[in-house]
Amino acid sequence: MKLPTRLSTRVDEAVSWRVARQFEEVHGRLGHLEDQVRGLAERLDQLDGRDGELDKRLGELERRLDPVERESSWSANELARLAPQAAAFEERLERQQRPIVLTGELADLPEARLLVDVVREEHARVRTRLALVSAYEERLRRLEQRLREEPPA
């Protein structure tokens, strides 16, 4: 069955109006999305520019850190080499300063000497560890002070 021309024309106009309206809505959304994509592209360009700046600053920091690492490594090596010698020297010096006092029976003397030797050895180990910690803290303090004194890049 064929619709009358007038009715057919009205249906065609209604469909065309509806399609045109939906097209305008989609076109409006597309324009909004294009604006957002453009904004994101600009932001990405800005971030790329900052990326180069951050790479430059990171390179500068790495360049400044290299001598500190070398000196720190050398200092740690020297400290590890000298610490046992210093502890042994302190122990010998302490032994020279202490008078030998004997009280009690001669049978107790070997056990007492053994106990004193054990205590001295432990004391020397503790002294060595404390000397290492003290030297490490002093080194850190000097490095931190040097970093505070250097002007920022």
What are the pLDDT digits (tens) for 114-133? 889 999 999 999 999 999 99
Residue-level pLDDT at 153? 58
Residue-level pLDDT at 3? 62
pTM: 0.30
Q: Which residue has the higher pLDDT, 14 or 125?
A: 125
Give the burial class of 127: count Cβ atoms within 10 A of its Cβ; 0-12 exposed, 13-18 middle, 19 or more buried.
middle
Half-sphere exposure of 58 (CA within 13 A, CB side): 6
- pLDDT mean across residues, the chain: 81
- How far is it, in rounded angstroms, from Cα 5 to Cα 10? 9
C-alpha dihedral (17, 23, 24, 26), degrees to nearest 10 = 150
User: Do the Cβ atoms of 83 and 128 come closer than 8 Å?
Assistant: yes
pLDDT digits (tens, 9 = 90+) for 55-73: 888 888 888 888 888 888 8
- How far is it, in rounded angstroms, from Cα 79 to Cα 84? 9
Residue-level pLDDT at 122? 92
